[in-house]
Structure 1
Amino acid sequence: MKAAPQAQLRLLDLQGLDSALDRLAYRSRTLPEIAETERLEARLAELRDSVVAAETEVSDLDREQRKAEQDVDQVRVRADRDQKRLDSGQITSAKDLGNLQSEIASLQRRQSDLEEVVLEIMERREEADGRVTTLRAEQGTVQEELGEVAKRRAVAQQQIDDESAATGAARTAVVKDVPDDLLALYEKLRGQFSGVGAAALLRGQCQGCHLALNTVDLNRIRAAAPDEVVRCEECRRILVRTPESGL
């Protein structure tokens, strides 16, 4: 392939711009705000699940408390009824009186036990309510943090977009100075070799693979016409000769 030396030199300008665009694209993909957003969103998902679990526990405890309070009321009603029978004086049999007194004492103990159950449930419900409150407060905090991160990410991304636009405009201007066939080869090589299709030959070393050329290859390049497009024998990238090539 043939191309004017000046056109080949423009490949280095093009490569520099393309490398800059690649770095900008990498920055865009790896903004620290992206990882921070993912972390915060994961935490929000955890908090949503925790809130649902805590609210479900509160609801279950509400039902449990109502059932326990109903049991207390039933025992209390029965104990009050027996106490009224005892106080009425209608029961004269010593055996019946003893049985009734025994039943009242048993109901009182049962009522006391059930009231302890109610208190224990109320304490558990208060703890569950506290967890819901704490979790919801953290949800709000994380949401605020997520909003701040989104703002920082938008600013950083806008800076990258502006720089990319300017670099892209400069690239468009450079492309006009590169022949179509040379540009096509450069683009093909860029796709094959990690975005680097052309490299300078600097003091006998290819700046694409950073390997020093042997004497045979250097002599071959020295003998090549100025408009001949030469390639690195090691990495096959386009080698651009400059005054610093060491030829």
Structure 2
Amino acid sequence: MKAAPDAQKRLIDLQELDGSLDRLAHRRRTLPELAEIERLEARRTELRDAIVAAETEVGDLDREQRKAEQDVDQVRARADRDQKRLDSGQITSAKDLSGLQTEIESLHRRQSDLEEVVLEIMERREAADARVAALRAEREKAEEELTALQARRDEAQQKIDSEVELTTAARKGVAGDIPDDLLALYEKLRGQFGGVGAAVLHRGSCQGCRLTLNTVDLNRIRAAAPDEVIRCEECRRILVRTAESGL
């Protein structure tokens, strides 16, 4: 392949611009805000599920408390009825009086036990309410942090996108100075070799693979016409000759 020496040198300008575009793309993919946003979004999902579970527990405890309070009311009402019967003087049998007194005492013990159950449920309900409040507060904080991070991410991405736009425009101008066949070869090699399709030959070394060329290869390059497109024998990238090539 033949190409004017100036056109070949423009490949290095193009390679620098492409390297800048690659670095900008990498910066955009690896913004620190992205990982933090992902973490906070996952935490937000965890908090949402935890809040649903805690609210469900509160609802269950509400029902449990109402049932326990109803049991207390029923036992209390029965004890009150028995006490009224006892106080009415209508029961004269000693055996019946003794039985009724025993039942009242039993009902009072049962009421006391049920009231303890109600208190225990109320304590559990208070703890569950506190968990719900804490989880909601944490979720609100996470939402605020997430909003701030998203704003920082958007700002950083906009800056990168502006740089990409300017660099892309500059690249278009440089690419226009390169013959189509040489540009196509460069693009092909760039895709094969990690984004680097052309490299400078500097003091006998290829700056693409960083290897020093042997004497035979250097002599071959010295003998080549200025417009001949040279390839590195080691990495196969396009080698661009300059005054610093050491030829």
Aligned to 1:98: 98
The alignment status of 1:141 with 2:141, answered yes or no, reads yes
Aligned to 2:124: 124
Find the aligned partners of 2:80 and 2:218 in 1 and give their Cα distance: 113
Aligned to 1:18: 18
Per the TM alignment, residue 24 of structure 1 is displaced from its structure 2 partner at its CA by 0.2
TM-score (norm 2): 0.99
SS in 1 for 2:46: helix
SS in 2 for 1:201: strand
Per the TM alignment, residue 96 of structure 1 is displaced from its structure 2 partner at its CA by 1.0
Aligned to 1:178: 178
Match for 1:238: what amino acid? I
Find the aligned partners of 1:131 and 1:220 in 2 and give their Cα distance: 78
Aligned to 1:169: 169
The 5 A counterparts of 1:21-100 are 21-100=21-100
Find the aligned partners of 1:89 and 1:170 in 2 and give their Cα distance: 110
SS in 2 for 1:199: strand
Aligned to 1:237: 237
Per the TM alignment, residue 84 of structure 1 is displaced from its structure 2 partner at its CA by 0.6
Which range moves more in the overlay, 6-15 or 90-99? 90-99
Per the TM alignment, residue 95 of structure 1 is displaced from its structure 2 partner at its CA by 1.1
Find the aligned partners of 2:238 and 2:178 in 1 and give their Cα distance: 13
Find the aligned partners of 1:146 and 1:113 in 2 and give their Cα distance: 49
Q: Deviations over 1:180-227 (max 9, x none)?
A: 000000000000001000000111111111111111111111111110
Structure 1 unaligned residues grouped into runs of 5+: none
The alignment status of 1:246 with 2:246, answered yes or no, reads yes
Structure 2 unaligned residues grouped into runs of 5+: none
SS in 2 for 1:79: helix
For these two proteins, the number of residue pairs brought into alignment is 247
Match for 1:107: what amino acid? L
Runs (4+) off by over 3 Å: none
Report the identity percentage: 77
Find the aligned partners of 1:180 and 1:96 in 2 and give their Cα distance: 116
Match for 1:28: what amino acid? R
Find the aligned partners of 2:238 and 2:213 in 1 and give their Cα distance: 14
